[in-house]
Amino acid sequence: MTPHRTWSAATIACFGIVHVALYLIVPRQASAPTYGIKLHYALVHVPFGVLLLGALARLLPASGPNAWRSLTLAIGLPAATAGLWWQQQAGGARLRLDLVAATLLGLAVAALLPRLLPESVVRRWLGIERRGAGGEKCKLPTPRS
């Protein structure tokens, strides 16, 4: 199995696991969710964002890190919102926008991790050590001081 297919399959599996786990673990409430539940929604979407970013880096190697981060948010947020909608429909409640914002926060943390982690980790995570963008060496943005 090629690396981009492996990362894509892992991303889809993680998405399913995250939303099934949230459906089974998070209690159904008629009132507004507490901050702990919102934090839980944000934290469980970080691994989904990490895998999605890795999959996009392998599927679109010529696009570069800026496009990968943007696409992570552009693809991840509608997917996460659809998963939240599915959870809320199964529980008989309406979709809460504060939970959508919490999932966006988790995806944003995943999209910003390449700026915070060491370059060797990021190159391995995004598969940059094996190929460059457009046939040349892919330059990662350096953290701002």
The span from the CA of 96 to the CA of 34, in Å, is 12
- Count other Cβ atoms within 10 Å, centred on residue 78: 10
> What's the pLDDT tens digit per position in 104-141?
999 999 999 988 888 888 888 888 766 544 444 555 65
Residue 62 confidence (pLDDT) above 80: yes
What are the start-end ranges of the H helices in the chain? 3-25, 35-59, 65-91, 97-116, 119-125
Cα distance between residue 92 and residue 100, in whole Å = 17
CA distance 131 to 138: 8
* Residue pLDDT, tens place only, 29-49: 545 567 777 888 888 889 989
State the Cα–Cα distance between residues 64 and 133, nearest whole angstrom: 6
Residue type, 43: L
C-alpha neighbours within 13 Å on the C-beta side of residue 10: 18
Residue 54 confidence (pLDDT) above 60? yes
User: 3: which 2 tokens?
Assistant: 């690396």
* pLDDT band per the 50, 70, 90 thresholds, residue 142: low
Picking from 63-67, 90-94, 99-103, which range would have the lowest pLDDT averaged per residue?
A: 90-94
What gap in Å lies between CA 144 and CA 98, rounded to an integer? 30
| Alpha-carbon gap, residue 85 to 129, rounded angstroms | 38
